[in-house]
Amino acid sequence: MCYTFGHTFGYLCEQVAVGALTGGTVKVAQVALKGGRSLALNLAKRTSASVVARSQWLKALLREAGAGDAVMRAAYERGLVTCSVEPVGPTIREVVNEVLEKAFSKGGFDRSIYSWKHLQDDLLNRPNLSKLLAQTGGEAVFQRRLSQLATIMGDDFDAVIAKNFAKVADEIIVVAKPDGTVDEFFEGFLRAFAGNPSELAHADAQTYSKVFLSPQGKAALKTFLSDPTPGKLWDTFDEATFFNNRVRGVLAELSVYKRYYKGRGYEHAPNAPGFDFTGPKWVQIKTVKDPTTAFSRMRDAVNALIAESPTDKPLKLHILVPPPGNDSAPLQAALDNYIGTLPAKKKFELIIDPFDIIP
């Protein structure tokens, strides 16, 4: 049972884990006495991953005095405890660190590209992930989401995807707020790859519940998280397929909501037909890669927004195009002209914005 306890860092970590598991009242030996061999073995298994993570953390502290301040250390430790004893979520009952250790250990997973050390570095050094870690309730979020991703991807989960997920999480999914805190849309991100708006009913939930993607969704997610250009919205999702349009639209919608609209008093209506956000205005977000072919689709979006919204509310069609957006002027003019034929023109705002999902 106690082979890991011989390791200094492991011992420390066990005490943290046991403390969490038992409300801080018993030591591992007591767990063994109270719960018998099976609980104690289970505890040892859960903590083996924590030991590695913990040791990397402590090594980093030794190596580099500035690797973390007291707040970060405490946050990391809380996250470590959570990930050592708690399941990923309601639909993935395995403990977070067990899932990760299993994923990192499987054949073909190149631990020189990604492993516990890289995970720790990402948590501590990436600007938004470190803010998430330090935030109350955020200590274990990325680790959980990484294990959720590993579960969803199954055999396709490799070190490159893990590495790039950290990059995409930091640059896209975790969004800095003006007050210095961060917000995130991990669940919505994973659900976006279902390509089905009904999946987005709980896009903003903290449920860790998405566990299955279709082969098409998995392939798209794999492409989005693979080298050489992870996180490239416009490259990954061209307009060749309906599915691509859907996924691209949802990812952009989630990103724009977190980056811009949420802080301005808007509510997200992820699976409403005709509009995406309500608030000071009723807003529809659309992504357009080729503005020269999008007029009919955008005209339908104008019509749907008018038909679906209350008559007395200002309306806004916010079209996102790849930067620099130079070729969108003809589309803008044609839509301005179209909107100008409608009585609703008085309350309608059309914006075509060059947009990159990585700010």
What number of chain residues touch other proteins (CB under 8 A)? 46
The H helix count followed by the E strand count for the chain is 14, 7
Distance CA 42, CA 21 (A): 12
Distance CA 145, CA 291 (A): 35
Q: Is 273 in the site for other proteins (CB under 8 A)?
A: yes
Listed ranges 91-99, 162-170, 178-186, 252-260: which one lies at the site for other proteins (CB under 8 A): 252-260
CB atoms within 10 A of CB 63: 8
User: Which residues face 349 on adjacent strands?
Assistant: 316
Q: Which two tokens stand for residue 55?
A: 């040791």
- Shortest distance, position 353 Cβ to other proteins, whole Å: 5
Q: Is 355 in the site for other proteins (CB under 8 A)?
A: yes
Considering only residues 334-353, where is the footprint of other proteins by CB under 8 A?
334-343, 345-346, 349-351, 353
CB 61 within 8 A of CB 70: no
Q: Which of 30, 105, 241, 293 lies at the binding interface for other proteins (CB under 8 A)?
A: 293
- Shortest distance, position 186 Cβ to other proteins, whole Å: 22
Distance CA 288, CA 193 (A): 18
First-to-last C-alpha distance (Å) of the chain: 49
- C-beta of 138 vs 249, nearer to other proteins: 249
Instruction: Estimate the crossing angle of helix 116-125 against helix 141-153, to 10 degrees.
Output: 140
Q: Which of 156, 260, 263, 269 lies at the binding interface for other proteins (CB under 8 A)?
A: 260
- C-beta of 76 vs 277, nearer to other proteins: 277
Helix (H, G, I), strand (E, B) or coil at 281: coil
- C-beta of 133 vs 294, nearer to other proteins: 294
- C-beta of 215 vs 340, nearer to other proteins: 340
- Shortest distance, position 316 Cβ to other proteins, whole Å: 7
- Shortest distance, position 121 Cβ to other proteins, whole Å: 31
Whole-number Cα distances in Å, 208 to 69, 84, 188, 191: 29, 17, 10, 10
Q: Is 198 in the site for other proteins (CB under 8 A)?
A: no
Q: Which of 306, 315, 317, 358 lies at the binding interface for other proteins (CB under 8 A)?
A: 306
Q: Is 290 in the site for other proteins (CB under 8 A)?
A: no
Length of the chain counted residue by residue = 359
Q: Is 310 in the site for other proteins (CB under 8 A)?
A: yes
**53 alpha carbon, distance to own chain's centre:** 21
- C-beta of 7 vs 347, nearer to other proteins: 347
- C-beta of 127 vs 265, nearer to other proteins: 265
Q: Is 316 in the site for other proteins (CB under 8 A)?
A: yes
Q: Is 330 in the site for other proteins (CB under 8 A)?
A: yes
Cβ neighbourhood burial of 96 (10 Å; 0-12, 13-18, 19+): buried
* Strand pairing category for 267-268 and 277-278: antiparallel
Q: Is 102 in the site for other proteins (CB under 8 A)?
A: no
Q: Is 303 in the site for other proteins (CB under 8 A)?
A: yes
- C-beta of 96 vs 285, nearer to other proteins: 285
- Shortest distance, position 155 Cβ to other proteins, whole Å: 35
Distance CA 195, CA 247 (A): 5
Distance CA 203, CA 137 (A): 18
Residues contacting residue 26 through CB under 8 Å, at least 6 positions apart: 18, 34
Q: Which residues bind other proteins (CB under 8 A)?
A: 256, 259-260, 273-274, 292-293, 295-296, 300-301, 303-304, 306-308, 310-312, 316, 318, 320, 323, 329-343, 345-346, 349-351, 353-355
